[in-house]
A and B are shown apart, each in its own frame.
Chain A
């Protein structure tokens, strides 16, 4: 590397340095890097340190590095992501369209040509598309490279800086003033005030530097570290071990193995509760709103017991359940155990538990039962031997019956609207009669049946839908968030302010710089020189631009 030795103070700076890290004197041959040659003021952005990206541009590595370290590129990536994200909200994403429709048809039907184009370009699944992920990854890379490119040199410059600064450095600061004569008394006053304003003062042969808030300079780097940790956390969610996402339906009274726990945990649904507003005295205050909006749900709750299966290690053994936790699961109040959490996320009221049927003669007005049987809908038996020599076979079972173009089908596998095709074998007969029976339906397909199947009664119960989560990435994401917040607050609520005082014959030159909030710096200097004869600094940017 070709080091540059400062011709004023002898400090050895890395190649590409714009302002000597020690005394600040502009290094003549490098002024083009920060565009200083056309300006009265010095560009102080990174204190004129050498940055890799501004120094080397030969190999492919240099080129890639320079590309990603450019803020212009970073901002462009952010803006592209922003616009893409906005496009994704024009029409609903695939996950928000009704579950039982074909996306290819739905978008076209509902939104016409626009919908079709939207679907074909993949905008219906934008946020998990490869190119959206790529954009986020590029932003991540850009953050890392841009930060490294600047933070190390900046750190060195701020560590090496000396109180004594070169005159050309001082004169080309934005805030600058010359005072011909300064009394000792005034000098003492200024220093005392600066200390009171909590500036750190360093001295070197009568040259002074008052500095405060240097740590705020690290804010952006801290916040970028937080962002990277967050992105890594989000990436880890793709590992199955880190992130489990499942769902379970549990009926009232039922005990069920919790999915994804290898039979280690079980849940019992003791009771599912749904409350709506309007029942209690308290809810009277909402009367007007309820009248306008109709019923509003107040609470979804599952009273549950979580069991741990002590026999889980032995394959094939009977579960040996011990109560681990008992409590209620509500929206906003998941139940948590051993890293898992169960969330109240869905429900089904009055699902059929069992149905009982009777057999009677078709022309019997009284519908006198010749035989009867009960079907357990969670686990239906397929053959029933009945009184009086009757036999019934279930030919087809539709737990959630609907007619699809004249064809009977089941919408879900849950017994929400059960219907059956029964084979009824009358006593001593080999040929069955075919009967279709369901809620409010009873159809004799052949029209020749002698016997009819009628619904006698049924039992219902509620079902709760719980999502099962285990997410080991949450602490990582949380850490990323906290670090990000620390970084932004550090960088935005504190400012790095420096005031240089340069003794000159009988007087003082004063120059000052801050990375942001110039108004605050001006106030500080005003306070520091209050009741003295020192000249207030002038904002040299004003003359510069106008």
Chain B
């Protein structure tokens, strides 16, 4: 059993490294200016490495399934890494339709980041509570993630479109928002770095505070910038908090999560500022020249196509299968808990997207912004609803 689990995590490492490697190769294809045989070989190598990575991650998935006795999609780590895997899968499908290397250069880093993000959460194999013990759980979770992953490809394409098309010669609302998106991505990188560093140092500080009239403790694994409201530090030799989280933050772990958020945003800011200092222009402006040879219309179409492929899959997994499962597990197919509501919001949003595109002619930039917003909603449901708005689905 132990062997199987370590084999499983090795597969995941391998997959991670392959995706990283594939990203560099895709980058090389973009820089490559010759349309000759050599660049064809480069294409083949890039996509092959991606596929090897995907197979390795499939190996992780299967071995972990055998080890735990249930499909590994039941806690935040498993679900998030699976989402990353589906994102790669969705990319491979779309790559074979359009054969566009630039898409790999944007999608794979997103997948890498998602997997790295998921790996920051507890990774041990966890038991299933009775309501999760259903085949519909696997069916529901796998189809939702596939659907959302395909929709995420539309985000990657939308982002390419925006970076290429938005006029960078002068500062505008659009350039600012584009930088905000990039900063958000950097903050995720910041989160991964900060958490990894302090994990490696085994950092821990315990606070005691009163919650719902009971004395509770909470373990911080990052130095407390924001401590619990009215908390006292128990661990010696640790810095005390700089300020206290506001009292309205509910939940035992609210202050700790708030602290993590502050760390991520600060780390993201450091990375962003460093990058701006090195590049001496907006990040998007620095990337723009790489996209010179990209066909905007094609990118726009891919972004839309990903939505048309992903929307039915998402509806099936996120609404229909979800309802079947909820009916079995909780005797009602719909309960208005936050996770469900956000799935409905996602669905409404993409329905609006499709209508605007088909009937009101929202192409190009408008459509690209919508693809970005859609991804924000998906990520919000995937991460923020779990971390902030606790509901029935709350894994972590």
Residues of A at the B interface (CB closer than 8 Å) are: 45, 71-72, 74-75, 78-79, 81-82, 85-86, 88-90, 93, 95-96, 110-112, 114, 127, 277, 282-286, 288-290, 292-293, 296-300, 330-334, 341, 343, 345, 467, 469, 474, 477, 481, 484-485, 488-489, 492-493, 515-519, 539, 541-542
Contacts and interface: CB of A to CB of B under 8 A. Distances in A.
Contact of B248 (A111, A282, A286): A111
B355 A75 contact: yes
Given A78-B351, A110-B250, A288 B331 contact: no
Contacts of A298: 127, 130
A516 B358 contact: yes
A292 B124 contact: yes
Contacts of A89: 338, 341-342, 385, 389
A286 B311 contact: no
Interface stretch (B29-37, B220-228, B300-308): B300-308
Contact of B304 (A74, A81, A288, A516): A516
B130 A492 contact: no
A492 B320 contact: no
Contacts of B269: none
Contacts of B349: 82
Give the interface SS of chain B, mostly helix, strand, loop or mixed.
helix
Interface string B187-216: 000000000000000000000000000000
Contact of A485 (B250, B304, B315): B315
B98 interface: yes
Contacts of B385: 89
Interface of B: 1, 67-69, 98, 122, 124-127, 129-131, 133-134, 248, 250, 297-298, 301, 304-305, 308-309, 311-312, 315-316, 319-320, 323, 327-331, 333, 336-338, 341-342, 344-345, 348-349, 351-352, 355-356, 358-360, 385, 389, 391
13 contacts: A72-B360, A78-B355, A82-B352, A89-B341, A110-B250, A286-B126, A331-B329, A332-B329, A333-B328, A477-B323, A481-B323, A484-B315, A485-B316
Given A292-B124, A467-B331, A474-B327, A282 B312 contact: no
A71 B341 contact: no
Nearest to A300: B130
B336 A93 contact: yes
A493 B316 CA distance: 14
A79 B345 CA distance: 9
Nearest to A342: B331
B131 A332 contact: yes
Nearest to B392: A96
A330 B344 CA distance: 28
Nearest to A234: B334
Contact of B129 (A297, A481, A485, A541): A297
B118 to A, nearest CB: 16
A88 B336 CA distance: 9
Contact of A277 (B67, B127, B308, B345): B127
Given A82-B345, A332-B134, A469-B331, A289 B124 contact: yes
A517 B131 contact: no
A291 to B, nearest CB: 9
A489 B345 contact: no
A289 B122 contact: yes
B395 to A, nearest CB: 11
Contact of A96 (B309, B337, B356): B337
B298 A519 contact: yes
B342 A488 contact: no
Contact of A114 (B129, B248, B312, B327): B248
Given A89-B341, A289-B122, A474-B327, A485 B312 contact: yes
